[in-house]
Amino acid sequence: MPASATMTAPRTFRSEAALAAAVDAAFAEELAAALADPAPDRPSIVLPDAETLIRQAAIATGPCPPDPREPSGGDQLLTKASVFTLRAA
């Protein structure tokens, strides 16, 4: 909907209050019955606890694995030297 458009009541109602009253009257019986019913028709949803959900989703928990070891400057120098040696051979 464009930003310039505004929400207005249909022309059959003189105001938004008249529209709201008509809607309330139309659904008053259904609303009263729904609010008076202590046990609704639909069962309540019971979710399992977090540990069960994590296990069912196969989520790995626990400490993180260690970061891979970064070679030191001397190790990098030895690696490059061995590559040159192999190429020379």
Cα distances from 85 to residues 72, 76, 89, in angstroms, run 20, 14, 6
Predicted TM-score (pTM) of this structure: 0.26
For 15-61, the pLDDT digits (tens) are: 788 888 888 888 887 778 777 777 666 666 778 899 998 888 888 88
**pLDDT category, 1, cuts 50, 70, 90?**
very low
Predicted pLDDT at 23: 82
